[in-house]
Structure 1
């Protein structure tokens, strides 16, 4: 049984076992008269999502809103499939994401370019969302779920141009998607709060990411709800770590190109990932995290994809 985590303030977290990994990607359930969920994960995660709803005793027909922070397939790839189980749900998305959910052909092509032969096992099927079931939320617009809970949508580019972050008035928390990075809750057992930027291709923009983070920080949230993975009740630490690691990520991409100017982007990305891996391992070693820790499987995957985004960013700059 997939047992959801009770986060308090009428919010539950369902582990989606994305990439067959626990604590990788999650769906947040907001328990109101109008039930809302934030993120769906990819289509292979939908059975885990439905199992989590069953454990919460929520009929999918009760879901009124399916909100996605952005349309990358690890966050929103399962929307079309999930809708088949949620006859009364509307999908809430960034204005720039609407057409890609209605016609996911470009999303599919982009993911195939990044993931190659792994695409089908990771993401299939990707189903279109009927346009009449899509709701766009512009910057600053709201969605009232109850008298106590209103969601405020903020345009937060940096990770992607089609990214919203959502402030929840009831919990005073923010659903940040990938805007301020990835949180590794596995390390909290060792007493370590650890976050890294998410710089995946192909719209990564460090300056925009910094501005978006500053905007969210000014909201003075009491919680961060990460897309990957879980809740952090020390938001200032997440913002601080982004300011520390983002320049290191950007520098690693630049250095990989400058040292290997004739290499292919794929080879340059490998070099950048190696540099980032050394930096991360050195940092975690200082805190006594052994190289055998299972958290490295998740970190390694993230660094490979982040390195691709960094190389793409610098080639566009040049």
Structure 2
């Protein structure tokens, strides 16, 4: 497969494909090409060679990178931070206050991810290296980072997908880097319909009420663009917000019904598949479309998170 060059998104912003899970257009790293060069998301460690190749294509040397921002510390977004910071010796790593200690010592993060991903963990994520304490910088609600005279980033606490989640508003593009809080953009269906958007409810900190509240916070910023961890940008934020907020209660309801009937995670996964496949079929997407490869993986993890959330509600 020929690797794609970084995609120019305007406003000196670029997207490098990390080929996460071996898929094109699954997980990306954003580059703000400013006085203080900044990367947003690293992807997992196997993506780092693609990130470095993308920087080279842009004429950026690793030592020029000043900041690496992590929206949250799940390994598909931040697992490569320890590897990348070794290649970018002058970079500071910006993270939510609840994520800092897990980057310095990722052992608990690795243990949790192994429980979710099982025997494929090593293939997907190894190595997961610690980031030294002196490299880690915490940003809290409303704090800023000035990259140049024309670009300042503002950080917002945005739980719902994870308790250690930041959304990042970019003054130059008037866009928001949403990580996973505002869902996943499935651009793969654009041969049949517009991109569609679904929540991602992975374990173990999913909370539907917090997710909707965080989405509404991002909405209140009146962004012109949304930049997703998975994957790429939309110039129609309201479409994304509306769809994700519509699907959150659907996901929770399907999972609740399954658990009440004594069914497990596998059935929750099947229920999600059925509801979404009905929606896609109604929009002309056939059931053998390649998007279902990704949806199958995502529904498996979403089902785990939904079950975990509902079981905690009973305690």
Q: TM-score, normalised by structure 2?
A: 0.98
Equivalent positions of 1:172-251 (< 5 A) are 172-251=174-253
More deviation, 67-76/238-247: 238-247
In the alignment, structure 1 residue 285 sits paired with structure 2 residue 259: no
Secondary structure of the equivalent of 1:7? strand
The answer as to whether partners of 2:15 and 2:28 remain within 8 angstroms in 1 is yes
1:193-230, Cα deviation, whole Å (9 max, x unpaired): 20000100000000000100011001110000000000
**Match of residue 163, structure 2, among 161, 164, 170:** 161
- Tell me if structure 1 keeps the 8 A contact 2:44–2:124: yes
TM (norm. structure 1) is: 0.97
What secondary structure is seen at the aligned counterpart in 2 of 1:117?
A: helix
Match of 1:170 among 169, 172, 177: 172
Matches within 5 A, 1:103-142: 103-142=105-144
Offset at 1:189?
Answer: 3.0
Aligned runs of 1:1-318 on 2, under 5 Å? Answer: 1-260=3-262, 268-318=264-314
CA distance in 2, matches of 1:2, 1:285: 30
Deviation at 1:291, TM superposition (A): 1.1
Flag structure 1 segments of 5+ consecutive residues without an equivalent: none
Tell me the SS of whatever aligns to 1:37.
Answer: strand
> How many residues were matched structurally?
312
Alpha-carbon distance in 2 for matches of 1:144, 1:192: 35
**How far apart are the structure 2 equivalents of 1:296 and 1:14?**
23
**Contact 2:17–2:51 (CA<8 Å) still a contact in 1?**
yes
Unaligned 5+ residue runs, structure 2? none
Deviations 1:139-198 (A, max 9, x none): 110000011100000000000000000000000000000001000111223232200001
Contact 1:222 1:235 (C-alpha < 8 Å) held by counterparts = yes
